[in-house]
Amino acid sequence: MTALISISDFSVTRGSHVLLSGLGFELHAGEVVVVLGPNGAGKSSLLLALAGLIPCSGSVELLGRPVAAFRRTEMSQAVAWQGELPPTEFGLTVRQRLELAAGEACAAVDAVAAAMDVALLLHRPLGELSSGERQRVELAALMLRNTPIWLLDEPTAHLDLKHQMHCIRMMREQRGAGRAMVVVLHDLQQAMAVADHLILIDGKGGAEYGEARKLFADDRLSRLFDAPLCMQGSLLVPDYGEQR
């Protein structure tokens, strides 16, 4: 099976600072790779580089073609990137935002809005929404992008528990439908719920790719975050110590 994303000797720098180097992995249809690492390690930059939004070095192939051969419009048909929407000052409504994401597929907006629990927000300006509502709108916008690859930057951030669970279920459904995803997450339980593979970025230039099951099983994550973790049943959770 041809890999949707294939990278080797991949490096991303910010100014003179090397965020990660020497990374190599392949992403296939119906596969989820979760990116974990401390704040500022370069997780979001990795997604931006994969989406062609910031420069990177190394060999990067999308759908079997070198990424440099893609025009911006072609890239947008291959990869959908979800990141936090900056503040918008010009009164754009939720419906308009979703229609911009949908492009030709405007007819799907109402159905997707209902499925993603944003139907009641459609007429409201984006600037009036809470962070969690904006995140739900961005996930709905993502659902309207019919691309084989999704790059999701903290998709569960700002969401309440119900919508976090909804988001994880949505990712699993999409994986089942053959969508390939690279997802930045901070919550280890959510990562365990969706990850087939992990990319661990240590913030010192190092990056490691491996099978999720194996990486969750040893103490590498504890070292990565410089925080004690313990197994509770089959779950890896932060060890806060005994409560008084």
Partner 1 sequence: MMRWMFLALAIAVCLLLGLAVGEHWINPFAAHDALDRTILWDLRLPRLLTAFAVGGLLALAGAWFQVLLGNPLAEPYVLGVAGSASAGAVTGLMFVPDSAWVMSAGAFAGAWLGIVIVMVFSRLGPNRMLLAGVVLAAFWSAVLALLLALLPEQGLFRAFAWMMGDLSHSDLPLAVLLLAWVVALVCGLFLSRSLDVLLLGERHAEALGVDVKRLRQRLLLLASAVTALAVTAAGTIGFVGLVIPHLMRLLFGSLHRAVLPASAIGGGLLLVLADCAARTVIAPAELPVGVLTAMIGVPVFLLLLSRRA
Q: Binding residues for partner 1, per CB under 8 A?
A: 48, 51-53, 72-73, 75-77, 79-81, 83, 85-86, 88-93, 96-97, 100-101, 103
Q: Is 153 exposed, middle or buried (0-12, 13-18, 19+ CB in 10 A)?
A: buried
CB of 113 to partner 1, least distance (A): 17
CB of 53 to partner 1, least distance (A): 6
Pull the structure tokens for residue 188.
């280890």
Which residue, 34 or 79, is less far from partner 1 as judged by CB?
79
Q: Which is nearer to partner 1, 99 or 196 (CB)?
A: 99
Give whichever of 98 and 191 is closer to partner 1, judged by the CB atom: 98
Report, in Å, the least distance between residue 74 CB and partner 1: 8
For partner 1, the closer of residues 92 and 108 by Cβ is 92
CA distances from 184 to 124, 165, 189, 194 (A): 28, 16, 13, 11
Q: Considering only CA atoms, which of 159, 84, 94 is closest in space to residue 128?
A: 94
Q: For partner 1, give the closer residue by CB, 63 or 229.
A: 63
End-to-end CA distance of the chain: 54
Spell out the SS3 assignment of 22-53. Answer: EEEEEECCCCEEEEECCCCCCHHHHHHHHCCC
Instruction: State the Cα–Cα distance between residues 220 and 216, nearest whole angstrom.
Output: 8
Of 11 and 96, which CB lies nearer to partner 1 in the complex structure? 96
Taking the complex as a whole, the smallest distance from the CB of residue 108 to partner 1 amounts, in Å, to: 16
Rounded to a whole number of angstroms, the minimum distance from the CB of residue 77 to partner 1 is 7
- Write down the least CB distance from residue 182 to partner 1, Å: 14
In the complex, least distance from residue 57 CB atom to partner 1, rounded to whole angstroms: 19
Residue indicated by tokens 């994303």: 5
Given the complex with partner 1, which of 99 and 208 has the nearer CB atom?
A: 99
Q: Which residues of 162-185 are buried (b: 16+ CB within 10 A; e: fewer)?
A: ebbebbbebbeebbeeebbbbbbb
Work out the number of other CB atoms within 10 angstroms of the CB of residue 130: 9
Tell me which residue has tokens 């370069």. Answer: 42
Q: Report d(CA 50, CA 82) in Å as an integer.
A: 12
